[in-house]
Chain A
Amino acid sequence: GENVEQHPSTLSVQEGDSAVIKCTYSDSASNYFPWYKQELGKRPQLIIDIRSNVGEKKDQRIAVTLNKTAKHFSLHITETQPEDSAVYFCAASSYISSGSARQLTFGSGTQLTVLP
Chain B
Amino acid sequence: NAGVTQTPKFQVLKTGQSMTLQCAQDMNHNSMYWYRQDPGMGLRLIYYSASEGTTDKGEVPNGYNVSRLNKREFSLRLESAAPSQTSVYFCASLTDFSTDTQYFGPGTRLTVL
Q: Give chain A's interface residues, CB within 8 Å of chain B.
A: 1, 6, 9, 32, 34, 42-46, 49, 89, 93, 96, 98, 100-109
Contacts and interface: CB of A to CB of B under 8 A. Distances in A.
Interface of B: 31, 33, 40-45, 48-51, 54, 56, 58-59, 90, 94, 97, 100-107
A82 B54 CA distance: 43
Given A96-B48, A98-B56, A89 B43 contact: yes
B30 to A, nearest CB: 9
A104 B102 contact: yes
Nearest to B59: A1
Contacts of B58: 96, 103
A9 B40 CA distance: 8
A96 B47 CA distance: 11
B100 A93 contact: yes
A96 B104 contact: no
8 contacts: A6-B42, A42-B106, A43-B107, A44-B104, A46-B103, A103-B45, A108-B42, A109-B40
